Structure 1
Amino acid sequence: MLSVIRERIKNAPGGSITYAEFMEMALYHPEHGYYQKNKTKIGRNGDFYTSSSASAVYGAVWADVFYFMFRELGLSSYVLCEIGAGDGSFARSVLDEWQAKGYPALEYVVIESSPYHAEQIGRKLENHSWSHYSTLEEFQSLCPFFHGIVFGNELLDAMPVHVVRQTSSGLKEIQVSLNETGDLIDVAVRADDQLRKWIEEYHGELEPGQTMEIPLAMTSWLGKLYEWIGRGYVVFVDYGYSEEEWRQPEISEGSLRGYYRHQLIPNPLSYPGEMDLTSHVHWDCIRKVGEDYGCPTSGFQSQQEFLLKNGILDHLAENVSRDPFSSEHKKNRAIRSLIMDHSISRYFQILIQKKDGCF
């Protein structure tokens, strides 16, 4: 991967590329990109955990939430589109619970670009009916107007971002270049008008010395998504900041990081193609784009609050055996791990948006 990036930089005007281009290659290159490789990425043997990998109860709670959302929408058929389905753990737990509850037929659509993950999903969902598309555009070509629920868990944080810094000489874009020995380094260039326009529209002025990620790709992608939806819900589960939080001194250096073997790597240029790259999402931007396309926010809260409100404690097993390694004990420990103050859920937020359109 590093040789591919070096070659791109050498051929780039000015000898540097944007962080967005770097991330696109490091994460999504068809041969060398992190997400495209045939390797375990989620769970104990991977680089990071997700809520759905912690316990099947996570998906079971969502199954009930989805059912009530569909009922509220009043649609004649139920279609759930999960974008960025990973290894299929969430899809399987949702479908298992859906089937166990005897809910009406559900069309479960998986959007997943990684062939490796698609194979994992196929194994996990072999007892269920589902469909797979490599890209959202592929599904949209067959479904030009969508009615249903779109769900993305830790989807937006992995979209490529530009990086800017407010300096004493004005707004600069931080790009990726090479030093004399061929190592990847940061360089500062003048920020273009597109970045300035995004900041003006979605954030306002940066503080002196502040570094921040600008999600041009996400903003454009969201507009196309909301435009495609006729009637339905859009649900994003991710970690991010509001405009006010972005101004706090402790995150003045930005949020772009890597995760490698469950270790946070502060320098995103380390291990290109070998580690996950992620940045916190701009919740205010997502909400505003939704409003602009007639898909306003109907709910926003921490995942911890969401799970408690929607009955995760009802899934606790009663009358468990004395064996601490029994399935009941494991399930109860997993539930507690999702709702305790130090749990993963404390750091995630859930944004629910609703679009009321014509049929």
Structure 2
Amino acid sequence: MIAVQGRGGVMLRHHLKEMIESSPKKRISYHDYMAAALYAPTIGYYASPKKKIGSRGDFYTSGNVGDAFGRSLARWFVHLIKVCGISPKIVEVGAGDGKLAYDILVYIKETEPLIWDSLTYVLVETSPYHKKAQQERMGMFKQAFFASGAEEWTSMDGIVFSNEFFDALPVHVIEKDDGALVEVFVTIKDGHLLEVKEPLSNPDILSYLTERSVTLHDKQRYEIPLKMVEEYEKIASNIESGILLTIDYGYIQKEWMEPAHHQGSLRGYYQHEMIGDALMYPGDMDLTTHIHFDTLMDRGERNGLGTCKLYQQHEFLLKTGILQELKEHQETDPFSKTAKRNRAIRGLIVPGGFSEHFRVLVQTKNLAVTAKVFPE
């Protein structure tokens, strides 16, 4: 693939060059590289004024494949509020362009006027580009409020959820090389970004490996999600009672040790093509990793959250009633609105479909009616 770098990408490369050359050892961690490439003000991928989601962007999310995903979540949220007595407050962390929030709010407005009148929906998002898109899309809803971080909402009673939030956070990269653990850094030579390895010395990484009892095979790469842990702790500690829902792709520790995952999971997405080299197209390409679900479960327990279950996404959607979104029709046109919508729904629930790589972690805190978390 030949790519023409945009102005933001050129500026980001210059920014990275300055970061590397000003560092004492002329290299930066993958964590710092990803943080700059994704979040540097005005020039990072998520901070830049560029369309990222959908056919004209670089990737899709479940919430952008029609409205059935959002309506299924909304149907479940209504159940939690009416049956489990959860407060009618919803916080979406990493709310992106607001499409999912819009679909959820439209469903509640159409079907539950009593809940609608008392509902609060907080969209948490750091990207200025996406925040502007949210406000343009959600301006009609007095129920919608906008925040930049978890510190802006505290002592939460209600529903907190994220959809593909943790996978976009920076990670450190380590490897076992000839029997010794090394950290992989990023440097620059003759204008090209390159990897360099040094003996692992970061105490936070070493502490994570000890805590998780991680043992690597030789030549195995492994991402250390210190930022994920930090952000999750902020979220979990702000919940007094309710539901914490995490939708993302990732593995538990046993799966991380399978040979198929020995090269790690750090990759890029550029114009809907997966790019194995994370150093290509900085600023113009999304970067992502698979998350560590067992870490979230353990950290949740430390913060008083109990794990209901880790579901496959299609399994979760079936439990929340997505089949109710299918509509009968007699149209012969396969490209009609109804036909396309039904295909999108089937694509979310059939084997090998959009949901195949996604999982849903449901955690609860101080709920009186945990047995009825899902409709029967």
TM-score (norm 2): 0.90
Q: Does 1:114 align with 2:131?
A: no
What is the count of residue pairs matched by the alignment? 352
Q: 1:128 aligns with which of 141, 146, 155?
A: 141
RMSD across aligned positions (CA): 1.5
The Cα shift of 1:169 comes to: 4.6
5+ residue gaps, structure 1, are: none
Q: Conserved in 1, the CA contact under 8 Å of 2:84 and 2:367?
A: no
Distance 1:14 1:357, change over 3 A: farther
The Cα shift of 1:175 comes to: 0.7
Q: Conserved in 1, the CA contact under 8 Å of 2:267 and 2:287?
A: yes
Deviations 1:40-67 (A, max 9, x none): 1001000001111101011000001111
Q: Map residues 221-240 of structure 1 onto 2, 5 A cutoff.
A: 221-240=231-250
User: What SS is found at the alignment partner of 1:288?
Assistant: helix
Q: Which residue of 2 aligns with 1:54?
A: 65
Question: Mean Cα displacement is larger for which, 97-106 or 238-247?
Answer: 97-106
Q: Which residue of 1 aligns with 2:39?
A: 28
- Determine the C-alpha separation between the residues in 2 that align with 1:263 and 1:63: 31
**Which amino acid letter does the alignment assign opposite residue 123 of structure 2?**
V
Question: Mean Cα displacement is larger for which, 263-272 or 165-174?
Answer: 165-174
Q: Which residue of 1 aligns with 2:9?
A: none
Distance 1:36 1:198, change over 3 A: same
- Determine the C-alpha separation between the residues in 1 that align with 2:247 and 2:291: 10
- Determine the C-alpha separation between the residues in 2 that align with 1:63 and 1:357: 19
TM-score (norm 1): 0.95
The Cα shift of 1:159 comes to: 0.7
* Aligned residues with identical type, % of pairs: 38
Q: Conserved in 2, the CA contact under 8 Å of 1:320 and 1:329?
A: no
- Determine the C-alpha separation between the residues in 1 that align with 2:272 and 2:109: 34
The Cα shift of 1:95 comes to: 0.5
- Determine the C-alpha separation between the residues in 2 that align with 1:149 and 1:11: 44
**Which amino acid letter does the alignment assign opposite residue 133 of structure 1?**
A
Q: Conserved in 1, the CA contact under 8 Å of 2:150 and 2:235?
A: no
Q: Map residues 1-359 of structure 1 onto 2, 5 A cutoff.
A: 1-75=12-86, 77-103=87-113, 104-105=115-116, 106-129=119-142, 130-137=144-151, 139-140=152-153, 144-179=154-189, 181-191=190-200, 192-356=202-366
Q: Conserved in 2, the CA contact under 8 Å of 1:202 and 1:284?
A: no
The Cα shift of 1:203 comes to: 4.2
Q: Conserved in 2, the CA contact under 8 Å of 1:320 and 1:328?
A: no
- Determine the C-alpha separation between the residues in 2 that align with 1:320 and 1:118: 40
- Determine the C-alpha separation between the residues in 2 that align with 1:222 and 1:151: 11
The Cα shift of 1:163 comes to: 0.3
The Cα shift of 1:321 comes to: 2.2
**Which amino acid letter does the alignment assign opposite residue 148 of structure 2?**
S
Q: Conserved in 1, the CA contact under 8 Å of 2:66 and 2:344?
A: yes
- Determine the C-alpha separation between the residues in 1 that align with 2:352 and 2:304: 36
The Cα shift of 1:71 comes to: 3.3
**Which amino acid letter does the alignment assign opposite residue 23 of structure 1?**
M
**Which amino acid letter does the alignment assign opposite residue 195 of structure 2?**
D
The Cα shift of 1:311 comes to: 1.7
Q: Conserved in 2, the CA contact under 8 Å of 1:27 and 1:35?
A: yes
Deviations 1:145-187 (A, max 9, x none): 11111110000001110000012251111011112x1211111
5+ residue gaps, structure 2, are: 1-11, 369-376
**Which amino acid letter does the alignment assign opposite residue 24 of structure 2?**
P
Q: Conserved in 2, the CA contact under 8 Å of 1:161 and 1:213?
A: yes
